[in-house]
Homo-oligomer: A and B are copies of this chain.
């Protein structure tokens, strides 16, 4: 049996505790060996205040998972690759698109794996949806990604800062699914972004995309949804409507249920990371982040009421 990959988590926040730690514990071939976090630690796991201290102490770590905010991730990824570590990036993989190609080149040079993860692509219904759509004529696509920011991002100031992406933080999950399941590349044609007057990032976005066949794709992202939450993609095809809902865990064809399975997306991520390392390859798809950058560049800004967290 091969020795397990010894992994360090950098940034012990909500996503690391809720998702990464249980997924690592449940995945063969990888184990949590260290934490770098200024404020938090876990009993029995080697702890360092910063990634630099961790790399300097070098406790036999093979790989790092960066769960820090995107604004600081590039420097950490570059340092870890330079120190010969494999690197897993939470989504989004960076605060800019341009910072990624140098990391891809560094991974190639050092022979290490760089994995830019898109967790929603590991939801159970995504690959079946892709297969279904590959052989259909697609007529239109409608995305509704509406959630309550107060529930999902309590007190997370960085998401409202430049680089934090605002409502595109969840919206990029929808885009990561869409870029996976649609058979052709698509591009933004129009966008309206709603910015609370007191914030530097949008709270809602209304997006129109198309592709070279003229396919109409509409996406609505909104962080002001109270009550039931909506993470749905509806695709009208020549053989009926395909509905991917609950963030990608349910799939219906017209009224027939095909899949309804709350899957541990992060187990899929760590299985894939182990596999990428074993095969000596990287996996970096920038297309969801490019769509978001395009939306900021092409989007018309609308001022909306201030967002005040209690």
Contact = CB atoms under 8 A, between A and B. Distances in A.
Interface of A: 74, 78, 95-99, 101-102, 105-106, 162-163, 165, 184-188, 191, 195, 200, 211-212, 287, 290-294, 296-301
B97 A97 contact: yes
Contacts of A165: 297
Contact of A296 (B185, B200, B293): B293
Given A297-B292, A297-B296, A212 B96 contact: no
Most buried by B among A106, A162, A300: A162
A282 B187 CA distance: 21
A175 to B, nearest CB: 10
A101 B298 CA distance: 17
B298 A163 contact: yes
Contact of A300 (B162, B291, B293): B162
Contacts of A184: 102
Contacts of A298: 95-96, 162-163
Contacts of A99: 187-188
Q: Copy number in this complex? A: 2
A258 to B, nearest CB: 30
Contacts of A186: 98
A188 B96 contact: yes
Contact of A187 (B96, B105, B200, B287): B96
Contact of A290 (B97, B287, B296): B97
Contacts of A292: 297
Contact of A98 (B163, B294, B296): B294
28 contacts: A74-B187, A78-B212, A96-B294, A96-B298, A97-B293, A97-B297, A98-B185, A98-B287, A98-B291, A99-B187, A102-B184, A102-B185, A102-B187, A102-B212, A105-B185, A162-B191, A162-B299, A162-B300, A165-B297, A195-B301, A200-B301, A290-B290, A290-B293, A293-B293, A293-B294, A293-B297, A297-B297, A301-B301
